Structure 1
Amino acid sequence: MTGRSGLLTRPIVPVSDADDAVETYDALRPEIDPECCQPLVVSVVATTDGDDTTQRAATDRATDAVDRFASLAAGDGIDVDTDVLTGDDIAASIIEAASDNDASAIAFHSRGGSDWLDIVAGGVRTALIVKSNIPIVVLPADDQ
């Protein structure tokens, strides 16, 4: 158990797709105590005015992502709750879910990208850090 376990007793953990779910799980697993951590794993599907096929595909991708994370966690004996969220603003949807579910923190694995562009363009990562009223935990990046 690490010193960060208090922050990670009920983290909300956003994942974008099945590959991201694996990377995020691999980063989170060494940081938690399976006996006292129950993550809520979410994936956000952006609402669109587009066709139903596109929306259905995005929902399927999100469902696959949270299911993949839950499967990995179950293999290690970790209870996980999952939810597929829908919203116009990904960061706001995550923050709202964190509040609604009494999350201890928002824990995410950085998906890369340019820090400078993120600051200028206002990416999800920056929005989570700036707008959240609960702690943000950026999980360690893989050293590859």
Structure 2
Amino acid sequence: MSSDSEAGGRDLLDHVLLPVANEGDAAATATGLEPYGPDRVTALHVVEKGEGVPDKTPVEQSEELAAEAYAAVRSVFPDADEHTAYDRHVAEAIFEAADDVDATAIAFHSRGGSRLLQFLSGDITLQLVTKADIPVIALPDEDSDE
């Protein structure tokens, strides 16, 4: 199912960056990726930081959410690495993390939501699939008929 990427001849699934928001999202995303058998996985949690405004959640609480998410990923991929980013712009943080860890692809599970919610949040999914420098894998819903 995988193929060599153009850059450096590396396999698409050599090192997959897996952005996760919380424990439930992490479990669903890791489970969705598992059948594809990536060689290496790095789970990423982005702590959204405000610039000149209060943070959405206290840093300690965000780091606790990250730890729970990493544990959920490790229940599927025991050797998964972890990477925490602190940024106001989630998509940009994902792209920077992909560079930092030398990922060959970004895999994500769409979190859905209303069009209004997507508009207000900047539609991270749209940014991921239109602005990434590496392949982006949109994992199917657990309920979908593959």
TM range (shorter): 0.7 to 0.9
Residue aligning to 2:15: 10
* CA displacement at 1:67 relative to structure 2: 2.4
Aligned to 1:56: 60
**Preserved CA contact (<8 Å) 1:118 1:126:** no
Q: What letter corresponds to residue 40 of structure 2 in structure 1? A: Q
Q: What secondary structure sits across from 2:106 in the alignment?
A: strand
Aligned to 1:113, the other structure's residue is in SS state coil
Q: CA deviation at 1:118?
A: 3.7
Tell me the number of residue pairs that the alignment of Structure 1 and Structure 2 aligns: 135
1:27 aligns with 2:22: no
Change (3 A) 1:106 1:115: farther
Instruction: Please give the alpha-carbon distance, in whole angstroms, between the structure 2 residues aligned to 1:87 and 1:121.
Output: 14
Of 70, 73, 86, which aligns to 1:69?
A: 73
CA RMSD of aligned residues (A): 2.5
Q: Give yes or no for the alignment of 1:124 onto 2:128.
A: no
> In proportion to residue count, which structure has more helix?
1
Tell me the distance in 1 between the aligned counterparts of 2:113 and 2:2.
26
Kindly indicate whether the alpha-carbon contact (under 8 Å) linking 1:24 and 1:109 is maintained by their aligned counterparts in 2.
yes
CA contact (8 A) 2:46 2:90 kept: yes
Per-residue CA shift, 1:90-141, capped at 9, x if unaligned? 0100100101221111100111224686478631111111221111000111
Q: Give unmatched runs, 5+ long, in structure 1.
A: none
TM-score by length of 1: 0.82
User: Which amino acid counterpart does residue 143 of structure 2 have in structure 1?
Assistant: D
Task: Report the counterpart of residue 43 of structure 1 in structure 2.
Answer: 45
